[in-house]
Structure 1
Amino acid sequence: MLGKMTEQILHRGPDDFGFHVHGPVGLGFRRLSIIDLEGGHQPLSNEDQTIWIAFNGEIYNYKELREDLLVKGHVFATDSDTEVIVHLYEEYGVNCANKLRGMFAFLIWDSKQQRLYGARDPFGIKPFYYIQTDRRFAFASEIKSLLQIPEYDASVDEQSFLNYLTFQYVPDPMTMFKDIVKVPAAHYFVIENDVMQVERYWHAEFKPDETKDLSYFVEGIRDVMRDSVKAHLVSDVPRGAFLSSGIDSSSIVALVKEIEDVRTYTVGFDCGKYNEADFARETANYIGTKHEDLTITSEMFWTNLPRLIWHQDDPVADPAAIALYFVAKIASEHITVVLSGEGADEIFGGYNIYHEPESLKLFQYIPPSVKSTLAEVASMLPDGTKGKSFLQRGAKSVEERFYGNAFIFNETDKRNLSTLEERFFQYYRKPSDITQSIYGRVKSYDDVTKMQYLDLHTWLPGDILMKADKMTMANSLELRVPFLDKKVFEFAATIPTKYRIHNGTTKYALREAMKQILPEPVANRKKLGFPVPTRDWLRGNLYEPIKELIICSDTEHLLNKNEVLQLLEIHKSGKADMSRKIWTIVVFMLWHRIFIEKQDEFIPQGRKREYSFSYYYRKHKFLNSGGYH
């Protein structure tokens, strides 16, 4: 079974593989070699082979930790960051995860204590899935490894499906697969005596310092980002960076260039208004990078989409995933490690929606009864009426109106769209339940900071980091995100809201900090990311194949196809933009065809190197002399 599990993630680690089986435990491992190319073989143990680890990720402060552990008497056999975690666990036990600076998902088997211990990094950069069956606990870097477990039969989790229709991804800790769960970011778990306990080890807290002026934060951002970029360059293999048109990736590239020459990569689309490659090329010329780009056509997009959804594991209806796949593909021809700008928006205040609290400020002075009346009046106005949305949103608190960067279908829409029985809608954990549990932890925050906090705990791990990891790993490329560093966050969390959103400018303090190293047009350029022309393609080249997909999809038990086809026709006619709703359904239907209907099969492909793992822990009551399977 371990062999089948690791075969599924060959793309994550085609350089090396290894297994360790002892008693109730079996570990399988695929490696993409980054640090200590000769000595980093896994699974790896301590000196007396009583503690074994399988580790996916990179630890950027491992050299400092290693020196401290050497002073304490620990003996190392390799120069790898993996071995540092083993000895850190020996020294600090389950508290060791909080000492790590990096991205990680790891498992440690302590044979003396008969304890399984695992942890995921603070922001959820690296994926980590598990399942508990009657026979075993099993863990993996990707869900497709867990699908190889003999007693598991994949099926749709109806609650996850309903939440996906709102968020365009499945919020942690659930997945679209029934009984398969994510280890949440910033959490560790311990399994002893067949009982699993999950605990949070790190909290993201915003602590704005109103006593400091802007210049303090501008200088501090430059210092902490220089330190983070330098740390993220640690590797024994070639590295480069993604470069879009905005400040996030441009800042990373400029800071790398201060240290070494850098290769940069971007993609554009064959629709002029969606092609930001020209802007990226201008930035590359200014900074002085060796730059490459690629133009994606609708045919390339559609042809590759099924394989990319297979790589995603869970459906994520973010069209930018396809752009990430192609930019990773061209980068992987030359480099093994790539730096990228994910996370800057969540911690520095970069999304345009963060302007909303300021634009709705006047509603703070309106009595609740009047706001309620305004909301009722607005609800009776025809869709598209100017000011309707403004009144509806202004009448609600931020907790009532903001669900994160994606809000696709509301509850009424979902009842009309879905064929699920009413009981599912009555008893499932609704999107509002998910967001309110997060808002409840930060009642004292201002509205902008509440929105950032929510995105940090939902949108970031569920969409941004999920697609970033899966699309780069599909090309055997390790992605690193210097903005998502604990030191960077801890400083950014002290920036007052007035310096995050200022005079209509998002990420104001970051932009001011980067003006010293970037041209003003780049530092002030509005956020684009990798814009994808799905809106136009759904009315053009993709209309017919998507209509055929909807008609042939075996999802009548979940979706009313007539409603879906009506959305497609409304969009094609130009009466309304339904592209995000349609795309959310299309991605789910393709996912269902691949993982549930099993109509498409993909052979895992791997070309390079990376740390990833598959793991199972057989419950003691099922042990027998037959070994493991």
Structure 2
Amino acid sequence: MCGIFGVINTKEKIDESRVLTVRDILAHRGPDDAGIYFSNCHPEPVEGSHSERSEESPFVALAHRRLSIIDLSPAAHQPMISDDGRYVIVFNGEIYNFEELMKEVGSRQSAVDNKFKSHSDTEVILKLFAFEGHECLNKLRGMFAFAIWDDKEKTLFAARDRFGIKPFYYYFNESDPPDGLSADKVGEVSFIFSSELKAIKYYKGNLSLNKDALDAFLKTGSVPAPMTIYNEVAALLPGHWMEIDCHPERSRRISINNYWKFEYLLGKSSVGSRQLADEENVISSTFTSFSVNSARNLKENKISKDYNEPVSSPKKMALSEMTNHGLQSLRGAARLPARQERRSNLKYNSDAKKKIREALLDTIKAHMVADVEVGAFLSGGIDSTAIVSLMRQVGQEKIKTVSVVFPDNKLDESMYASIAAKKYNTEHIEVPIYEKDLIEDFEKIMSVMDQPTIDGINTYFVSKAAKQAGLKVVLSGLGGDELFGGYPSFNLIPKYQRIKNLPLVKIFMKAAAPLLKNRLPAKAIEYMKNPNSQNSEYKLIRGLFTDDELKRLTNGQWSMVNGQLSQKMTNDFMTPDVQKANYNITSNVIANGPPAGEARVKQSLSTLQYVSMMETTYYMRNQLLRDSDVFSMAHSLELRVPFVDHKLYETVLPYLDDAYDKNFPKKMLVEAVGDIPLELVNRPKMGFTFPFEDWMMNGQLKDLIIEKIKNLNTDFNLYPFVLDLEKLHWSRLWALFILSKYND
């Protein structure tokens, strides 16, 4: 686990001292080592490149801060340069199957090739990329965000893992702010990337707040990717890769493509999923070069997405070759490839239980790969207890577990955590947390939170406790609810859908909504008024503030900016293809509703699989995973999530509908693990949360929050006291408070 940072300038040299400063801003992500690379520092030219540097050649800097987990020796130092000097990588994450891939790469190297100089997953990625280019991503199992500079072709390749466990933020010049989705941009390249927004902000300066992101935050509790809190910065979406071409003899461009989608999980097998990913490139805007006019037309929505068919992605075609395809990418309507055999909804029986158990043991073994001690969070819930049990079952003799407790509070889970710790004979560490601890660490927490979120503080404190216990790596039960059906949404969404589709119910709902306005929560009234809106049930469950509430908060002036765009962006934020499609989001595109691919996605997934997708690609991706990364890394702690593993998802997801039982929480997980104490299985679901409600309504935190909300800057046009703050749910009150921090 590490911190990465990089800069590409096409016109002027890079300020090396500034890069060093920014690199060390990320020191908390990697306190063990630091490295830096500048492209104009090679003592000798790279074989096959220009004999001497052209005045038009780009200036490139790559910086790295390392938290040493695998191969603790200097041989794994980053940035890591390939044997021939052509490729340079900075990598954040862990590849759990790197030893298997190391054998594969080793068998492909010729006798004259230099062998591996380290035992690191970083070197595996570097060599595999040299062989396979972007197709190497299909072989990687783990969490990752990395960038590779090709000093021969003058291109930067970057990629992010399938689920978005590791972050990748980027800035692309001021004159053309990024949206995270664009298939092609042409012009002078000025590019910055990093693991954290604060590094880009420090290096670039003068970043402006994205009011659409604030809109999204107030409606969802987080900022959905690809948006970020800054207009000029975007997040590379999970399951995507990008390439920036800076070659002086070619048009400069940035291209983005997806290599993985959630629905690939239901392919015939992991191999089938890979084939499906390759074939379904016909319905996404892939790595092909449009002419300047074509790109402009696409951006202005003059070319339908359905007629944006690319040329098949070549195995390792050079960018210079790709430019020759031009408008061939627009030659016809997109069509689905030959049907893949799907495992969409299978019977949950004894064979299924065996497969799920094997997959669970496999993912735990994979996530235990490390050259340092691996501990675990243990709250006493089903998910964290399952992780600890499986660690013991795969042969881990010594297990150090950590939990935070809230003495004399109803949210204290210490009794359950103690039961699990005793059952599995762990070295268990409990750290009591009081309101004063939150207040003392408050400014540090806010500085860590470089994007607004209503969650994550629990991870901050339990990570702090793990660090104090001497751990560098922990396993977390995050993802268990999303995969095994642990959230109420798995019961409520199908239930609400069935009810609203009964005869005359929608008519009654719309008629009754005005009459019940002051008797039901605002979200319920919004649902009754608009039962057919996109993913209305999910917004009812996960939404924060409604449009009507935001209009009241802003004295009728909502949205903040950009006319309808701000409202439409977050009304449709639940639409997967809106976020995944590789074209610019414009008000016209969003106003026209979800892309045609949405229906295809729904058809490929069962009802509960679709709920799993929503929880995985929205709540987990945009809030839980992002918060877990930033708050654990604040304490130089690597947090691993064995349940968030594409191989495990592939195994479990086909059985979700048949196995689901609302009265038996996470039945598949409990039965596969086999020995979770009944006291923990039958306990009420609590969730890993803090006693915010008590502290906000009765403690010192209340005065701090109310005072801050009172002083919300009028730039936000917010008038929070039109709402009854005494009756407002703590999460909504907390959201207003967090928003106020972005006004400082």
TM bucket by the smaller chain? 0.7 to 0.9
- 1:103-502 map, 5 Å: 103-134=143-174, 136-150=190-204, 152-193=205-246, 194-205=252-263, 207=266, 208=343, 210-258=345-393, 259-260=395-396, 261-318=398-455, 321-333=456-468, 334-360=470-496, 362-363=498-499, 366-367=502-503, 369-384=504-519, 389=524, 392=527, 396=531, 399-403=535-539, 406-418=542-554, 424-428=562-566, 429-438=568-577, 439-444=598-603, 445-499=605-659, 501-502=660-661
Identity score, percent? 32
Counterpart position of 2:72? 37
Query: Does structure 2 conserve the Cα–Cα contact (< 8 Å) formed by 1:355 and 1:504?
Result: no
Tell me, in whole angstroms, the C-alpha distance in 1 between the residues paired with 2:522 and 2:239: 41
The CA deviation string for residues 182-204 of structure 1, in whole angstroms up to 9 with x for no partner, is 11111100111431111111122
Structure ranking higher on relative contact order (CA contacts 8 Å, 6+ apart): 1
Give the match's secondary structure for 1:138: strand
Give the C-alpha shift of residue 43 in structure 1. 0.3
Give the match's secondary structure for 2:654: coil
Query: Does structure 1 conserve the Cα–Cα contact (< 8 Å) formed by 2:22 and 2:199?
Result: yes
Tell me, in whole angstroms, the C-alpha distance in 2 between the residues paired with 1:371 and 1:485: 39
Tell me, in whole angstroms, the C-alpha distance in 1 between the residues paired with 2:240 and 2:126: 18
The CA deviation string for residues 322-343 of structure 1, in whole angstroms up to 9 with x for no partner, is 2211111111121111000111
Change (3 A) 1:467 1:352: same
Give the C-alpha shift of residue 65 in structure 1. 0.5
Letter of the structure 1 residue corresponding to residue 108 of structure 2: K
Give the C-alpha shift of residue 448 in structure 1. 2.7
The CA deviation string for residues 111-135 of structure 1, in whole angstroms up to 9 with x for no partner, is 1121110100101001110001256
Give the C-alpha shift of residue 91 in structure 1. 0.8
Query: Does structure 2 conserve the Cα–Cα contact (< 8 Å) formed by 1:352 and 1:506?
Result: no
- 1:591-602 map, 5 Å: 591-593=742-744
Counterpart position of 2:130? 90
Give the match's secondary structure for 2:65: strand
Counterpart position of 1:535? 693
Give the C-alpha shift of residue 33 in structure 1. 0.6
Tell me, in whole angstroms, the C-alpha distance in 2 between the residues paired with 1:218 and 1:157: 47
Query: Does structure 1 conserve the Cα–Cα contact (< 8 Å) formed by 2:228 and 2:235?
Result: yes
Query: Does structure 2 conserve the Cα–Cα contact (< 8 Å) formed by 1:247 and 1:525?
Result: no
Give the C-alpha shift of residue 523 in structure 1. 3.2
Letter of the structure 2 residue corresponding to residue 345 of structure 1: D
Segment drifting more, 393-402 vs 127-136: 393-402
Tell me, in whole angstroms, the C-alpha distance in 2 between the residues paired with 1:386 and 1:165: 16
Give the C-alpha shift of residue 436 in structure 1. 2.8
Tell me, in whole angstroms, the C-alpha distance in 1 between the residues paired with 2:231 and 2:418: 45
Query: Does structure 2 conserve the Cα–Cα contact (< 8 Å) formed by 1:55 and 1:106?
Result: yes
The CA deviation string for residues 584-627 of structure 1, in whole angstroms up to 9 with x for no partner, is 0111212432xxxxxxxxxxxxxxxxxxxxxxxxxxxxxxxxxx
Instruction: Kindly tell me the number of residue pairs found equivalent between the two proteins.
Output: 579
Give the C-alpha shift of residue 212 in structure 1. 3.3
Give the match's secondary structure for 2:688: coil
Letter of the structure 1 residue corresponding to residue 349 of structure 2: L
Tell me, in whole angstroms, the C-alpha distance in 1 between the residues paired with 2:462 and 2:690: 13
Give the match's secondary structure for 1:539: helix
Give the C-alpha shift of residue 432 in structure 1. 2.5
Counterpart position of 2:33? 16
Tell me, in whole angstroms, the C-alpha distance in 2 between the residues paired with 1:455 and 1:425: 29
Segment drifting more, 523-532 vs 170-179: 523-532
Query: Does structure 2 conserve the Cα–Cα contact (< 8 Å) formed by 1:40 and 1:78?
Result: yes
Return 5+ residue gaps in structure 1 as ranges: 594-629
Return 5+ residue gaps in structure 2 as ranges: 1-17, 41-58, 175-188, 247-251, 267-342, 578-597
Segment drifting more, 189-198 vs 123-132: 189-198
Segment drifting more, 538-547 vs 25-34: 538-547
Counterpart position of 1:520? 678
TM-score by length of 1: 0.87
Letter of the structure 2 residue corresponding to residue 153 of structure 1: N
Aligned-residue RMSD, C-alpha: 2.4
Letter of the structure 1 residue corresponding to residue 254 of structure 2: M
Query: Does structure 1 conserve the Cα–Cα contact (< 8 Å) formed by 2:352 and 2:655?
Result: yes
Give the C-alpha shift of residue 395 in structure 1. 7.9
Tell me, in whole angstroms, the C-alpha distance in 2 between the residues paired with 1:267 and 1:48: 49
Give the match's secondary structure for 2:575: helix
The CA deviation string for residues 67-115 of structure 1, in whole angstroms up to 9 with x for no partner, is 0111101521111110000001011011111210010000000111211
Tell me, in whole angstroms, the C-alpha distance in 1 between the residues paired with 2:486 and 2:520: 28
Give the match's secondary structure for 2:706: helix
Tell me, in whole angstroms, the C-alpha distance in 1 between the residues paired with 2:208 and 2:608: 38
Query: Does structure 2 conserve the Cα–Cα contact (< 8 Å) formed by 1:218 and 1:510?
Result: no
Give the C-alpha shift of residue 253 in structure 1. 0.6
Tell me, in whole angstroms, the C-alpha distance in 2 between the residues paired with 1:373 and 1:390: 12
Counterpart position of 1:62? 98
Give the C-alpha shift of residue 60 in structure 1. 0.5
Give the C-alpha shift of residue 271 in structure 1. 4.7
Segment drifting more, 448-457 vs 387-396: 387-396
Give the C-alpha shift of residue 381 in structure 1. 1.5
Tell me, in whole angstroms, the C-alpha distance in 2 between the residues paired with 1:224 and 1:489: 9
Tell me, in whole angstroms, the C-alpha distance in 2 between the residues paired with 1:414 and 1:421: 6
Counterpart position of 1:2? 19
Tell me, in whole angstroms, the C-alpha distance in 2 between the residues paired with 1:407 and 1:211: 32
Question: Match for 1:580 among 706, 717, 731?
Answer: 731
Tell me, in whole angstroms, the C-alpha distance in 2 between the residues paired with 1:385 and 1:421: 22
Query: Does structure 2 conserve the Cα–Cα contact (< 8 Å) formed by 1:11 and 1:473?
Result: yes
Segment drifting more, 191-200 vs 168-177: 191-200
Query: Does structure 2 conserve the Cα–Cα contact (< 8 Å) formed by 1:248 and 1:341?
Result: yes
